[in-house]
Structure formats: structure tokens, C-alpha cells
Amino acid sequence: MICKEELQTLIPHRGKMLLLDRIIEYDIEGSMRAEYDITKDCLFYDSTAGGVPAWAGFELMAQTISALAGIRSRERGETPKFGFIISIPFMQIEIPVFRLGSRVDIRVKEFDRTDLVYTFEGEIFLEDKKVMEGRIMVMEVSNEQTQALKEGYNGTR
């Protein structure tokens, strides 16, 4: 198991934006299972709904993918790279909200890879019941490319 402190060495998210509590298991070849406990501290918490809107599940899947990429980079002796969501071509959500106090079980598996573009299939379970599934395309970029994007965004170029 990988705890939250170690997760921070694998993915760039910090503070309330870090939406994973632990990695349960992974296969370096392309799959990972993670968990997130829904609390009022979550960036997406909606007190009116009594939890986190289920549409935020795509970000849970994306961060799980990021953690797998971070482990792969670490295994190669490299610094973890940044990644960007390119598209979400499919997403099916069975519930409106992840209720306060629930434990979200996130599972991702690499489906396809072309150069630096990866497609993952993801599933989210609550109490062993699948409540969400989808496909996410992500692109891994070098730290230099990320810095150039930040500078261009901030108008410092």
C-alpha cells in the first residue's frame, strides 16, 4: 500500500486538489487501484448535496492514472512527468453524488498507447458496486514542456 505522503512524490497535486488517500495495488504494466475517503475537506465537496458530485469521478480516475505514471517514472529513475487530460470519450455515471463518509474505490487499466498518448479505462466502486465507468485519454509531457506552457499562460514569455 502507498499512503498519501508517498503519493505526493508521485503526482503534482497538493492540498485539497490531492484526491487520493492511498494506492491499494498496482501493476507497473498498466493498472492501479486507489481509494479516496469523501470528507468535507474535498475541493469538490457540496454541502447542499451532502457529498462530492459524481461527475468529479473523472478527476479521481485521472489522478490514479497520474500516480501510475509517477510510479513508472520512478522505476526508470526519472522525475515524474506532468500529464494532461486530452479527452473523456466515454463516461457513464450511475449515481449523482459520492456521499460524505463513503470510501471511493478507483480502478484504472491502460487500454491503448500511441507515442505519449495513453487511453485508460476506469471504474469507480462504492461498497463493491460499480457506480461509474469511463475512458480517459491523457498525454504525458516533459517537465520542460510543462514549464513552457506555464510561462506562456502567465505571459512571461
In 41-117, alpha helices (H): 57-75
**100-104: long-range pairs with CB below 8 Å, 24+:** 100/38, 100/39, 100/40, 100/45, 100/50, 100/51, 101/37, 101/38, 101/39, 102/37, 102/38, 102/51, 102/126, 102/127, 103/35, 103/36, 103/37, 103/38, 104/35, 104/36, 104/37, 104/38, 104/57, 104/60
At 9, is the secondary structure helix, strand, or coil?
Answer: coil
pLDDT at 15: 83
107-128 residue pLDDT tens: 999 999 988 899 999 999 999 9
Residue 32 dihedral angles phi and psi, to the nearest 5°:
-155, 150
pLDDT at 140: 82
State the pTM of this model.
Answer: 0.88
Position 12 confidence tier, pLDDT thresholds 50, 70, 90: confident
Of the CA atoms within 13 Å of residue 138, those in its CB half-sphere come to 27
Joined together, the cell numbers standing for residue 27 give 501493476
Which CATH entry fits the domain spanning 2-153: 1.10.10.10, 3.30.2310.20, 3.10.129.10, 3.40.50.2300?
3.10.129.10
Domain spans of the chain, in order of start: 2-153
Place of cell 491503448: 112
